[in-house]
Structure 1
Amino acid sequence: MAASSLSLDTLRDAELVSSGRRVFQIESTELDRVGNRIGAEFAAACRLVLASRGRVVTTGMGKSGHVARKIAATLASTGTPSFYVHPGEAGHGDLGMITEDDVVLALSYSGESDEVLMLLPVFKRQGNLLISMTGKPESSLAKAADVHLDVNVDHEACPLALAPTSSTTASLAMGDALAVALLDARGFTADDFARSHPAGSLGRRLLLHITDVMHGGDDLPTVREDASLSQALMEMSRKRLGMTSVVDVDGRLVGLFTDGDLRRALDTDLDVRTAGIAEVMTRNPRTIGADQLAVEAARLLEKHHINGLIVVDADNRPVGALNIHDLLRAKVV
């Protein structure tokens, strides 16, 4: 381990905090500089990708390679098919993954990475359009590209000016800018995003509908409005949802009875053995449609401080029921 100019005994928290804040200040300044340079070249890069019938193939060595991987992942998840190819592996067979319709996005801050430059004749011969991202507009890679994106920074955050810091942050931000501009141009929606992230929490929130989590059919607790409180309690016990819908003779919802309603009834002089459900139910309860997203049910429960909802059709007839536990199990909340 390299020797430190400061011993751990004398190193103060304030010095560590100051060092960390300095990095944010430097990188923030450099991001502003790079962002202000976005112009016609950036638009040209977007148009190359939008006009392409293929994918965006990113490549780069070292830290630029890590950034290129992240850019490919961001593009792919926001509507622009993309993947990363390691430039060293490309020369040993992985070039076969790249078709003539693909656009290549090559990253090298110096613009002189041998492994990347070695691939340029192949790309040109195959007819691939090339977008370069470098910090040196006069570099070999920048000059060979159809479009160059300039991510030059004045200062790295590393006090030794050796470790790529501001430059990699600027490259990441440029990749994000490219992905978001393409997303906007394609009219990419939250539903589109969810379809490519079905296993994630966002995917569940955007793809799960009420019908996916509700209890319907024989599992739907329902009693008529002329039923007794005892009958309603038996229905609640059988269906185990802590509530039951109450319907009229035509099957339309007129009320809801919950565990909370029972507790409130027990606090009164009401004789629960003889009482009718109509005396203790909540009239005109909150409901939700079966075609709505499960996350909308979560919002209703939170907004109105309730634990369950009856799902109704267009004629206000109950078709399902759900409670907060159903949403928790589905990982919607």
Structure 2
Amino acid sequence: MTSISPPPFSQEQALRSAQRTFQAEINALADLQAQLGQNFYQALQQILNCKGRLVITGIGKSGHIARKIAATFASTGTPAFFMHAAEALHGDLGMITPQDVIIAISYSGAAAELLTILSATKRLGCPFIAITGHHQSELAQNADIHLDVHVQHEACPLNLAPTSSTTATLVLGDALAVACLEAKGFTKEDFARSHPGGALGRQLLTYVGDIMRQGDALPIVEAGTLIPEALAEMSAKGMGMTIVINPKLQPIGIFTDGDLRRLIMRCGDIRYRPVEEGMTPHPKTIPASELAIKAANHMDQLRLNQLLVVDTNGLLLGALHMHDLLAAKVI
């Protein structure tokens, strides 16, 4: 059987199609924004007053949206999880407690699985929030709170594939999550604790003491050490410098590759000169308790590759190289 190839689709046609999709979804969001009111606030209060978890359920495309909304709530300080509507009817309803709040998403408001969940959770006494596109649907009429995401037209030219309606639902979920975040005073530090593996988590949870070099990894020489011995220590430890300490184990300077070049230009033969003749005195320091990202900013501002770590008495604890910050993915 001979297949029929679709007619050519030009770049101009493709861009016109994309523009129509954008505009249809923008219009849907504008309509949704205009109708926000008391029901939104009531839903927010139910979520804020929840003593258990926020359980968000749906099936099909609405289920995909529900899963993302649950993830957004969970990552912004509201304990939440997604419950697949079909799995709920085969045992997952056992996860729900009377302290939980249910959000059920169905654009038609007629999904049989969600109506069964509504009946079961009503017996538990859980507050039930329905998000639908039909305020007269069975789900909307029997919910404690209904949030209407009705759209005039899907972006799909056939007005069939959920497009504008799923976008509107997703944005409404974001709006609820952000309002909860603001009402709870959720901070960047709170966000980092929920995202320890992310870039922000590393920046806000990684301290200088976590990544500094210490012990035998530190290049250290005493004052009076000759330059050749100091160079051997620098080469062995790979930090591009050595720390010069006094008898009290306090750093009095650092001797870097740049200091070496300047000393050679100034003195020529440096074999019998002590390291303090070429060192940079009064080295910059930071406490181990400081955030590593602040150390990175400090080094960047001062154009330093190394920073010494000291305790409150000025005793040497360790050293930080820019490479250490890169390896820890702080920067």
Give TM-score scaled by structure 1 length: 0.90
Instruction: Check 1:120–1:259 CA distance in 2 against 1; reply closer, same or farther (3 A cut).
Output: same
CA deviations over 1:77-126 (Å, ceiling 9, x no partner): 11111111111111111111111111000001121212211221111111
Instruction: Check 1:3–1:321 CA distance in 2 against 1; reply closer, same or farther (3 A cut).
Output: farther
Instruction: Check 1:276–1:163 CA distance in 2 against 1; reply closer, same or farther (3 A cut).
Output: same
Equivalent residue runs for 1:81-230 within 5 Å? 81-230=79-228
AA of the residue aligned to 2:306: G
Q: Tell me the equivalent position of 1:58.
A: 56
For the residues of structure 2 that align with 1:12 and 1:302, how far apart are their CA atoms? Answer: 50
Of 1, 16, 22, the match for 2:14: 16
Of 24, 27, 30, the match for 1:26: 24
Q: Are 2:248 and 1:247 equivalent residues in the alignment?
A: no
Structure 1: state its 5+ residue gaps: none
Shift of 1:210: 0.9
AA of the residue aligned to 1:255: G
AA of the residue aligned to 1:78: T
- Secondary structure of 2:113's match? helix
Structure 1, 155-164 or 216-225: larger mean CA deviation: 216-225
Instruction: Check 1:109–1:219 CA distance in 2 against 1; reply closer, same or farther (3 A cut).
Output: same
Instruction: Check 1:15–1:306 CA distance in 2 against 1; reply closer, same or farther (3 A cut).
Output: farther
AA of the residue aligned to 2:293: V
AA of the residue aligned to 1:322: L
Count of residue pairs brought into register by the alignment: 329
For the residues of structure 1 that align with 2:179 and 2:171, how far apart are their CA atoms? Answer: 12
For the residues of structure 2 that align with 1:224 and 1:118, how far apart are their CA atoms? Answer: 78
Shift of 1:193: 2.2
CA deviations over 1:224-259 (Å, ceiling 9, x no partner): 444332332232233322222233454433322222
Report if aligned partners of 1:245, 1:318 keep a CA contact under 8 Å in 2.
Answer: no
Of 273, 276, 279, the match for 1:275: 273
Q: Tell me the equivalent position of 2:7.
A: 6
Q: Tell me the equivalent position of 1:76.
A: 74
AA of the residue aligned to 2:82: Y
Instruction: Check 1:278–1:72 CA distance in 2 against 1; reply closer, same or farther (3 A cut).
Output: same
Report if aligned partners of 1:103, 1:128 keep a CA contact under 8 Å in 2.
Answer: yes
Structure 1, 286-295 or 81-90: larger mean CA deviation: 286-295
RMSD: 2.3
For the residues of structure 1 that align with 2:246 and 2:224, how far apart are their CA atoms? Answer: 8
For the residues of structure 2 that align with 1:44 and 1:118, how far apart are their CA atoms? Answer: 24
- Secondary structure of 1:83's match? strand
Structure 1, 59-68 or 153-162: larger mean CA deviation: 153-162
Q: Tell me the equivalent position of 1:329.
A: 327
For the residues of structure 1 that align with 2:268 and 2:194, how far apart are their CA atoms? Answer: 55
Give TM-score scaled by structure 2 length: 0.90
- Secondary structure of 1:118's match? helix
Report if aligned partners of 1:76, 1:83 keep a CA contact under 8 Å in 2.
Answer: yes
Shift of 1:178: 1.3
Structure 1, 142-151 or 78-87: larger mean CA deviation: 142-151
Structure 1, 175-184 or 255-264: larger mean CA deviation: 255-264
Q: Tell me the equivalent position of 2:259.
A: 261
Report if aligned partners of 1:76, 1:82 keep a CA contact under 8 Å in 2.
Answer: yes
Q: Tell me the equivalent position of 1:311.
A: 309
